[in-house]
Structure 1
């Protein structure tokens, strides 16, 4: 009986707050790993509006690391952002995964007007020995 009350309280805490956009311009932050691609939509102050990833769209396991899955994640994030009132987007790309270009294509195909594109992938100057390349 006490467990049901605790579960009910946790559900109350999980209610999402309503996000209102002050301007129709948003930031799409694309994080492309070797195994997954995560797309987060934020307003210009950095508050998260919505997000999507290959796993959220419905891909599991090694299918998450495909370009098609990244396209669908970008498309899903763009549709969610448009439903919140966004019209223009600045895209910030981070990572070296296969889904970099595919996610940008999905954002564009979802109906967003991309005004700028920025790559913030960290590049070592010397640094540590890099990981070995995946076998094909």
Structure 2
């Protein structure tokens, strides 16, 4: 753990995929203060992408943040996994200022295949 941050605002990045969930706690400059993943918490295989695993992972980040003295957070969510909502609900134990979704959305899709020549 790094030094105590008294009442500062930090970012919490949630990267939720279909295989795992990664939650990173960083300051506003982008320096990582703490991180947790469902695999690190002991979940294996298909259990890593469940809402229960996401809430346990987020609870770990909340505890680490409270030890550092963090009071306010910005939540940045990326991905389409199942644990997004439960992780956000668990992180609401800290004072949430902003929730931002930066999931990439394709605007025109893939290029269609060439026309078949017979």
Question: TM-score of the superposition, structure 1-length normalised?
Answer: 0.75
Residue 87 of structure 2 corresponds to: 103
| Partners of 1:34 and 1:97 within 8 A in 2 | yes
Query: CA–CA distance in 2 between the matches of 1:40 and 1:83?
Result: 15
| Partners of 2:4 and 2:67 within 8 A in 1 | no
Gaps of 5+ in 2: 112-118
What secondary structure sits across from 2:39 in the alignment?
helix
Number of residues of Structure 1 aligned to a counterpart in Structure 2: 111
| Partners of 2:6 and 2:70 within 8 A in 1 | no
Q: CA deviation at 1:95?
A: 0.3
Residue 34 of structure 1 corresponds to: 18
Gaps of 5+ in 1: 1-15, 130-136
Residue 133 of structure 1 corresponds to: none
Residue 41 of structure 2 corresponds to: 57
Q: Using CA pairs below 8 Å that are at least 6 residues apart, which structure has the higher relative contact order?
A: 2
What secondary structure sits across from 2:40 in the alignment?
helix
Query: CA–CA distance in 1 between the matches of 2:32 and 2:5?
Result: 11
Residue 5 of structure 2 corresponds to: 21
Query: CA–CA distance in 2 between the matches of 1:47 and 1:19?
Result: 13
The one-character-per-residue Cα deviations of 1:33-83 (angstroms, maximum 9, x if unpaired) are 001110000001100000011111121111101110001111111111111
Return 20-29 or 79-88, whichever deviates more.
20-29
Cα RMSD (Å): 1.7
In proportion to residue count, which structure has more helix? 1
Query: CA–CA distance in 2 between the matches of 1:47 and 1:20?
Result: 14
